[in-house]
Structures are given as structure tokens and as C-alpha cells.
Structure 1
Amino acid sequence: MTHFGIPSPSETGHITPMIALGCELQKRGHKVTFFQVPDSQQKVLSAGLNCHLIGESEFPIGSMSQRYAELGKLSGLSAMRYSIQFVQQVAAMNLRELPHIIKVAGVDALLVDQVARGCESVAEYLSIPFISVCNALLFNRETNIPPLFTNWSYKPSWLGYLRNQMGYSLISYLSQPFKNLVNEYRQQWKLPLYSSPNDYYSKLAQLSQQPAEFEFPRQHLPQCFHFTGPFINSASRESVYFPFEKLTGQPLIYASMGTLQNRQVEIFQCIAEACVGLDTQLVISLGGALSPELLPSLPGEPLVVKYAPQLELLKKASLTITHAGLNTTLESLLNGVPMVAIPITNDQPGVAARLAWTGAGEVVPLAKLNVSNLRNAIKRVLKEDSYKQNAVKLQAVIDRAGGVSRAVDIIEQVVSSGKPVLSNRA
């Protein structure tokens, strides 16, 4: 038995797949402890996993909800700046608190989300192995790949290379403060300083929720990088009531802007109006940010709920309208459902760019979002067979990728061998 520690970010898109990994590890007889701020404790405990509180004074109950409410009003570069500043604050807490807590807890290995900067240095300082987990788009930089915060298409040319370099220069500038923070601790701990963004990631194994086919052509990933497909476990989802009896049997359009960028009421109004007259039924999930009764009356009388049982609804859906969060995107593809994406910020433009590249959906950038453009995109995806066919192709790929079971196989192999686990990519 191995004692695994998981210092996961608290955002739903990160903690939910980590809980899926934790549940599978625990099922196989391992001990699993999450290290979480108070607002996330109940979600971990509800899945039957251990949770050790951190950051109680800095992030008291309710503080995360306030931060998410603020982020939900932002988009584009301002939202990305806000996210980076928050990542730096959490990294400072992790570097300050986790070494002692993890040592006392007797943790043998860490699963480190790529967003949880600093946790990998804690593992090195404590001389315990760590595995990197990509719950968002993989952060690994390659100059032939557009930065994940852009909606740029894949362009393998000198012009594309130059464009990508400019994008990476911007993200390096914005993220320099937390690189300096991590290096300050590494210097105190007599660890080699980081020089490259790719230095943060494990040399033993790196796991991505993406299937390889939902990624631009990569040339320089480490041999220990594995595309496993999404990490899904029913225990990681809270039970949600939904009035299934109100479904009419018409082709179902499921719309969700996730749990963070979901406070822009005008987007929901645009979605509702764009679906009027399409002979479909629209279900809108507000992601917990708003209450249906507080919304103005939406055109077409869609079925609006605060939360939705997403996995169950996607089995019935003909189309997903999404912010292009990676989890919703992969769960739609898991069910062969094509999409219309309205990316807001962070890695969502990059997810949307890959969606367009694979032909499994259409993208309506926020700057071009209006009823006409959105309705035309919805009509194309519903009527043209290629979108559904490409979504079904990716569904088959995900089915073969292995998901949470394969990911945990790799994690166990790392711990048992103490050596890098190499992928079988050509």
C-alpha cells in the first residue's frame, strides 16, 4: 500500500478528475489524502476520501466562492491576469505549509496538477516521487504549438512559429512573479533553480486527460508523457436532482458555461434566443453561480437549472453549447456529442481551437457572439453530418485510451519501480 497525497486546485475542473484518480487508487488498496482549503473539504469527504485542511486562515469558508464570483464576471486577458495572481497566492500557501504537513502525514508520493505550481518542489524537497497530471490542456511548451490561452490554429510555418513565440513571451512575462516565488524556495531548499517552464513537470510520468487525437501534432513531449483520456468516476460527482419528466423528446441541446465563467447573463440570453424556432429543447445549466428564479425570462422557455447531472444529460444530447472547458468538452466527446464553443478565458480558447481542428464542433469567439452568428453555428452542427461523425471518431479514441484505470496503472508502476514509465507513442 502506498500513501498518495493530492494537493489539488479547488476549482471543479481540477478537483473532480483528481477525485476520480483518488477513488480508483483507494479502490486498489492505497491510502489517499487530499490537501484542500476549507471550501473544498466536503466535496472530497463526500467521495469517501481523506482530506487534510490547509490555508484555513488565508482561505476561510466562503472565500473561494467570492473569488469565483469575481472571476465569473471577467473574460479575456483580465480574467487570465486574475487567474495567474490567484495561482501565485495558492502557490505561496503550498510552499509555506505543505512541507511540514505532508511529512507529518507520512505521504509516499504526490499527484501534482500542472496548475498547482510549487507542489512539485515540495515533493523534491521531501525526496518523494511525484506524477504530473494535466487536468486542463497540457501546459508543456513547444514553439510549433500555439499557447493554450489563444484560439490560434495550428500553423507549422515560420510565421506560425513567430506568432507562437510572441504568445509565449506574454505568458512568461505575466507568470514571472510565481516563477520567482518558486525559485526563492528552491534556493532555500538547495534545489536546482527552474529556467524553463517545462522544468516543473515530473520526469517519472506525466498524465493528460486528453486523447492524443485531441491535441495538435506534438514533436517534443517527454517519453514519460501519456495521453490517457478523461478521468471520470461517478463517486467524484455529487448527486443532482433534475426533472427528467420535463424532457420533451425533441433533439436536446445542452448548454453550460461551466462553474467559473458563468455569471454573464447576456450569454445565456443569447443562447436561448439563438435556439428559438429550431425544433429542439434547450436545457441550460447555470453551474451554481446563479439561481434560475433570479434570471430574467429567457426566450423560448428553455429548461433552466442551477446544476445539471451533466454525464446523464450528455447521453441524451444532440449538441452541447459550452465555454470549452476541457472536462465538458471531453465528456461531450465521450458521448459522441458535437459542440458549439463560446470560449471565455484561460485554456478555453485553446480547447476551442482543437475542437475546430478536429472538426467536432464550431467556435463562436466572445467578440463575435450575437444571436445570428450563434444560431448559424448551431444549425451547421445540427444539420451537417461531419460534426457528429468526427465527434463519434473521438468517442472511439477515448474509449480505447484507458481513462482513469490506465492512468492509475501508470501511477502504480512509477511507485513500484521508482523509474520513468515510458509511453508507447510512435
Structure 2
Amino acid sequence: MTHFGIICPPYSGHLNPQFSLGRELRSRGHRVTVLQLPDLADKVHSAELDFRAIGQSLYKPGSLAEMFQQLAQLSGRESLQYSVEFCRHMAEIICQDAPAAIKSEGIEALITDQLEPVGETIGESLNLPFVTVSCGQAIHRRADVPPFFTLWPYQNKVWARLRNQAAYYVLDRSCKPILQEINRYRQQRQMPPYRHIYCSNARLAWISQQPAAFEFPLDQRPSHLHYVGPFRHPWPQSVPFPFERLTGQPLIYASLGSIQNTKQDVYHTIARACEGLDAQLVITLGHGIKADDMLDLPGSPLVVDYAPQVEVIQRASLTITHGGLNTVLDSLSAGVPMVAMPITFEQPGTGARIRWTGVGEVIPIAEVQVENLKAAVQRVFSDESYRKNAQKMQQAIAQAGGVRRAADIVEQAVQSRRPILSPAMVEV
């Protein structure tokens, strides 16, 4: 059996899928240790995985919550700019502490997250086998693929390629502090520098939570890239929810995720847009706002701090979302269409794929108003094509393999230390 180490960003949208993969590997007899900030010890232990703290000398306890609170107030470019310094700091922590922690724990292989690019560098420097996972959308850095932080559609034309390349150039400039931190470590170990951010160096396998159907029509993709669908694994904890308060009307599930969930004005806009519809609105707030503080929303929606998202979405007719990939995949897994309001990070790119696949409507957060949100909700409700497209995606996800297939690929890659080709490439 193998002792795996997980290196990923300290965000729920990345931790939860990685935990699911870790739990699947653990159920097969492997040992899995998560290397993370001290603040996340309880969260890792609740997933019944091993925990190794990093950053004790560089990290101020409690500052993760402060960072989330600040990020929740921002959107768009401001949010991206604010997060760069935190990501640089995380790279610094991982470079300083992860190698020694990996050696002392006896970790034999790594599972790294594409959005924590220094993880691959650690694997290379220690000569450990590693597999890269895209918990958000797979970031290709190809000229024909619009950047993950844009709502641009896929257009394989010269002008679109030039536009995309210019945007990637701006991304690299914006993320220069992160690249400098990683390259400082690489230079010390006589490794060639990274020229671009989020450009995976995985050689054995690259695994994406997307199903292949929820991707732009790439004519060529890396032979070791596997689209396996969402990572889900039974959790030891359950989230209470007042199912008895559901009225039996068509259910609209609304969530702004785990970071951008303090925008009270957006919740009011959602409630007003759904007021008067023959539907019951359920809003989950996360840690950002307490449900007791949102009792005056128009239409008296059912508002909860937390919800068992998968179970509630399975009862829904529509999801209103910020465009976080996990919520999108949970909706598509249930064949539920969406209205997305991308806020920041990779959410616009996910919104672009929602448009491309016809599984919902998309409104940029800066353009969200009661009138256009209500019109989008009514359009998705009344036009059966959205649900049919979502159900097609549901079938694709059911056939993609999910966390079990991901674990199969990880095992094969680490045992063979050879690239694991995706089935599509094997057929070719």
C-alpha cells in the first residue's frame, strides 16, 4: 500500500473533492495525509484522513478566516488581486515546510492540485511520483481555449486566439509574485524556472472533475488528461435540514458557495426575482451570514445556514449559483439546469461552459438585477431544452467514473510510474 500526501489550496471547493479522493484511496488500504495550515486540522480529521500541519513559523493562526472574510467582500479583478498575495504566501509556506514534512511522514507519492502549482514542484524536487487534480475546471493554457477567468465563448479563430494569449499574458503578470516564489525554490534546486502560472507539468496523470461533455471541443488534449466527473464519497458527517418545511412546489436552490457568501444584496435580488413564482426558494448561506439575520427576504424563502447540497439539489427544479464548479457538477449530476451569476476566480469560465452546453443561463454578477434574473429563471423553467441538456450531462457524469475512476488512475500511475493514457487516446 502507498502513503499519499495531498497538497491543495485551503478552500472548501478544493478540500472537499480532495478529501473524497483521499477517502476512496483510504478505503482501498492506502494511507492519506493532508498537508495544510494548522487552522484546518479539525476539518481534515472530520474527513477521517491524517493531518500534517505546515506553516507554523510563517502563518498567523486565524488569518485564514480573516482572508475569507475579506475575499467575500470583493469580486472580479479586485478579488483576484487580493488572492495573489495569499497564494504567494501559501507557496512560500509549502516550499519551506512541505519537503521536510513529506520526508518525516514517509509520504511516498503526492496528489497535487492544479491551482496550487507549487505542489508539482515539490514532487519533482523530491523525485516522488505525483498526479495532478483539477478540482476547478481544467486549465489548459492553450491559445484556442479562453482563460478560466473569462466568460468568453470558445471560438477557434485567429483574433480569438490572440485575445486569449493576451489575457494569459496579463494573468502571468498579475501572478508574478507567485511565480517568483516558486522559481526561487526551483532555482535553489537547479530546476528550470516556470514561465507561466497554472501550466501543469504532470507527466503520469492529470485528472479533472469535469465530465468530458462539459468542456469546449478541444481538437487535441494531453494524452494523460482524464475527465472523470465529480469526486463524491460518503462522508461521516450529515448536515441537518428541515425537509419537513418543503412545500412540494418546484424547488429553486440558491447558493453563493463557501467564499462569496456574504453578499446580502445578491440574496435580496435572488429572493425578489423568485417572489411570486409558483416555486419554493431555498437559500443556503454558508458561514458568511446567519440565517436569523436574513428573515426579511421577499417571498419568505426557506433560508438555512447550511444544507446537504447533494440531497437538496436532487429535489430541485433549478439551481441559482455563483458558478462554483462543485455546485454546478452537483446540479448536473441530478439533471438540474441552472442560472449562474459568476463572481470571480474560475467561475466565469464555468459560466462559459454552462452557456456552451445549454444547461442554463448566465448573467455576470455586475449585471444582475431583479428584472433580468427573474427573466432568466422563468426562461429556464419554461424552456424544456435546458433540462434536457442537463439530463444529457447527467448521463455523461454517470458514465465518467467519478472518484472511483480517479482513484484507479492514481493507483495505476503511482504503481507503474508511467503515463496513464485516457481511454479516448488509447482508442486513437
- Aligned position for 1:74: 74
Q: Distance in 2 between matches of 1:400 and 1:341?
A: 25
Q: How many Å apart are 1:243 and its aligned residue?
A: 0.7
When residues 239 and 60 of structure 1 are mapped into structure 2, their CA distance, relative to the original with a 3 A threshold, is farther
2:114, 2:198 within 8 Å by CA — same for their partners in 1? no
Secondary structure at the aligned position of 1:168 is classed as helix
Q: Provide the identity percentage.
A: 47
- Aligned position for 2:29: 29
- Aligned position for 1:393: 392
TM-score (norm 1): 0.97
Bigger Cα displacement from structure 2, 68-77 vs 219-228? 219-228
1:142, 1:220 within 8 Å by CA — same for their partners in 2? no
Q: How many Å apart are 1:167 and its aligned residue?
A: 1.2
Q: Distance in 2 between matches of 1:53 and 1:183?
A: 23
Secondary structure at the aligned position of 1:234 is classed as coil
When residues 262 and 87 of structure 1 are mapped into structure 2, their CA distance, relative to the original with a 3 A threshold, is same
Secondary structure at the aligned position of 1:216 is classed as coil
- Paired AA for residue 259 in structure 2: L
When residues 274 and 198 of structure 1 are mapped into structure 2, their CA distance, relative to the original with a 3 A threshold, is closer
- Aligned position for 1:337: 336
Q: How many Å apart are 1:120 and its aligned residue?
A: 1.1
Secondary structure at the aligned position of 2:141 is classed as coil
Q: Distance in 2 between matches of 1:303 and 1:64?
A: 29
- Aligned position for 2:310: 311
When residues 199 and 252 of structure 1 are mapped into structure 2, their CA distance, relative to the original with a 3 A threshold, is closer
Q: Distance in 2 between matches of 1:213 and 1:241?
A: 33
Which string of whole-angstrom CA distances, capped at 9 and with x for unpartnered residues, describes residues 117-153 of structure 1? 2121111111111100000111221100100000111
Q: Distance in 1 between matches of 2:50 and 2:180?
A: 32
Q: How many Å apart are 1:221 and its aligned residue?
A: 2.6
Bigger Cα displacement from structure 2, 134-143 vs 326-335? 134-143
Q: Distance in 2 between matches of 1:139 and 1:198?
A: 7
Q: Distance in 2 between matches of 1:59 and 1:67?
A: 12
Q: Distance in 1 between matches of 2:270 and 2:196?
A: 41
1:252, 1:280 within 8 Å by CA — same for their partners in 2? yes
Which string of whole-angstrom CA distances, capped at 9 and with x for unpartnered residues, describes residues 147-175 of structure 1? 00001111111121122122111111101
The 5-angstrom pairing of residues 107-146 of structure 1 reads 107-146=107-146
- Aligned position for 2:284: 285
- Paired AA for residue 323 in structure 2: A
Q: How many Å apart are 1:298 and its aligned residue?
A: 0.4
- Aligned position for 1:242: 241
- Paired AA for residue 314 in structure 1: I
Which string of whole-angstrom CA distances, capped at 9 and with x for unpartnered residues, describes residues 260-282 of structure 1? 01111000000000001111000
2:117, 2:198 within 8 Å by CA — same for their partners in 1? no
- Aligned position for 1:59: 59
The 5-angstrom pairing of residues 150-161 of structure 1 reads 150-161=150-161
- Aligned position for 2:173: 173
Q: Distance in 1 between matches of 2:155 and 2:129?
A: 37
- Paired AA for residue 88 in structure 2: Q
When residues 228 and 102 of structure 1 are mapped into structure 2, their CA distance, relative to the original with a 3 A threshold, is same
Q: How many Å apart are 1:197 and its aligned residue?
A: 4.3
Instruction: Report the number of matched residues.
Output: 425
TM-score (norm 2): 0.97
Q: Distance in 2 between matches of 1:254 and 1:56?
A: 39
- Aligned position for 1:260: 259
Q: Distance in 2 between matches of 1:279 and 1:294?
A: 25
- Paired AA for residue 364 in structure 1: I
1:147, 1:164 within 8 Å by CA — same for their partners in 2? yes
The reply on whether 1:301 has 2:297 as its aligned counterpart is no
Q: How many Å apart are 1:57 and its aligned residue?
A: 4.2
Secondary structure at the aligned position of 1:136 is classed as coil
Q: How many Å apart are 1:300 and its aligned residue?
A: 0.2
Which string of whole-angstrom CA distances, capped at 9 and with x for unpartnered residues, describes residues 369-393 of structure 1? 1000000000000110000000000
Q: Distance in 1 between matches of 2:357 and 2:212?
A: 11
1:194, 1:200 within 8 Å by CA — same for their partners in 2? no
Q: Distance in 1 between matches of 2:267 and 2:177?
A: 36
Q: Distance in 1 between matches of 2:270 and 2:229?
A: 29
Q: Distance in 2 between matches of 1:104 and 1:220?
A: 41
Which string of whole-angstrom CA distances, capped at 9 and with x for unpartnered residues, describes residues 242-264 of structure 1? 11110000000000000101111
Q: Distance in 2 between matches of 1:103 and 1:2?
A: 14
Q: Distance in 1 between matches of 2:51 and 2:36?
A: 7
Unmatched 5+ residue regions in structure 1? none
Bigger Cα displacement from structure 2, 264-273 vs 49-58? 49-58
Secondary structure at the aligned position of 2:84 is classed as helix
- Aligned position for 2:383: 384
- Aligned position for 2:226: 226
2:250, 2:279 within 8 Å by CA — same for their partners in 1? yes
- Paired AA for residue 10 in structure 2: S
**Deviant stretches of 4+, over 2 Å:** 56-62, 192-201
- Aligned position for 2:93: 93
Secondary structure at the aligned position of 1:317 is classed as coil
Q: How many Å apart are 1:396 and its aligned residue?
A: 0.1
- Paired AA for residue 109 in structure 1: A
Q: Distance in 1 between matches of 2:357 and 2:113?
A: 26
Unmatched 5+ residue regions in structure 2? none
Which string of whole-angstrom CA distances, capped at 9 and with x for unpartnered residues, describes residues 80-118 of structure 1? 111222111101100011111101111110000011121
Bigger Cα displacement from structure 2, 202-211 vs 216-225? 216-225
Q: How many Å apart are 1:40 and its aligned residue?
A: 1.5
- Paired AA for residue 354 in structure 2: L
